[in-house]
Amino acid sequence: MEKYMVVCKFKQGTEMSDVYAVIAEEQAKASELQAAGKIGAIHLATLSRGTVFIETFAATLEEATATVLSLPMAIWWDIDVFPLSAPGKPGATS
């Protein structure tokens, strides 16, 4: 299992009242994915930045993407998936 950080930005023109209407559904699905070990921490940036950061655990980048796209709010997001790695050792060249 690999670790990914998924950066979710609300698309231009998103009606936040629509987003607020699915909060309970979003929380339930996020809890389900956390219990299954597919996502970890979820961090919300300020509303003015319109960004959500989701720690995701998956075998592949495609699987990590699919996990986040299964969340109800994903219809309003542009996402970018970053594979994470441990910091390199001092003096290492690769």
Backbone angles phi, psi at 40, to 5 degrees: -115, -120
d(CA 53, CA 79): 10
Report whether CATH 3.40.50.300 matches the domain 2-83: no
Residue 8 CA to residue 11 CA, distance in Å, equals: 9
Q: What is the pLDDT of residue 93?
A: 62
User: Of 11-25, 52-66, 76-90, where does mean pLDDT reach its minimum?
Assistant: 76-90
How far apart CA 89 and CA 27 sit, in angstroms, is 38
Question: Would you kindly state where each structural domain of the chain is located, as residue ranges?
Answer: 2-83
**Tens-place pLDDT, residues 32-59:** 999 999 999 999 987 778 999 999 999 9
Q: What percent of the chain has pLDDT over 70?
A: 94
Q: Which two tokens stand for residue 58?
A: 């998956």
User: Rounded to whole angstroms, how far apart are CA atoms 83 and 37?
Assistant: 17
Q: What does the pLDDT read at residue 45?
A: 87
Question: What pLDDT, on a 0 to 100 scale, did the predictor assign at position 92?
Answer: 60
Q: What is the DSSP string of 56-75?
A: EEESSHHHHHHHHHTSGGGG
